[in-house]
Amino acid sequence: MDGRAVVDSADRRSVEDEAFAARFNSALLHGMARRHGDRLLVFDTAEHSPEEIAKHVLAKAGPAFTVPALRTASAEESSTMAAGRVA
């Protein structure tokens, strides 16, 4: 909770009430696992960096998943977009 700007009562309860947290996590995981099967990945963000999580997600997605390359607009296209005109 240290990294959050706002901590509400549900956040506080999930940290301070271990029995509640265990029941909540169990219900969430079992419900999600039934629906999503082998696609469900669960990470403790206090233990894993965003980069590490991304590696696991991409590995699970497999070679069929690709991230499209960013396309850079030409100077003319940028001017047209900035002026609100459609090319």
Helix, strand counts (H, E) of the chain: 4, 0
Query: Which pLDDT does position 52 carry in this prediction?
Result: 93
Q: Which positions ≥6 away from 70 have C-beta within 8 Å?
A: none
pLDDT over 60 at 13, yes or no: yes
- Higher pLDDT: 2 or 55? It is 55
Q: How far apart are CA 65 and CA 53, in angstroms?
A: 16
Radius of gyration of the chain, Cα coordinates, nearest whole angstrom: 21
Asked whether the CA dihedral 54, 59, 63, 64 is positive or negative, the reply is: negative
- Higher pLDDT: 55 or 84? It is 55
Query: Which pLDDT does position 10 carry in this prediction?
Result: 72
Q: What percent of the chain has pLDDT over 90?
A: 5
Residue range 50-68, pLDDT digits in tens: 999 989 988 888 777 666 6
Query: Which pLDDT does position 18 carry in this prediction?
Result: 85
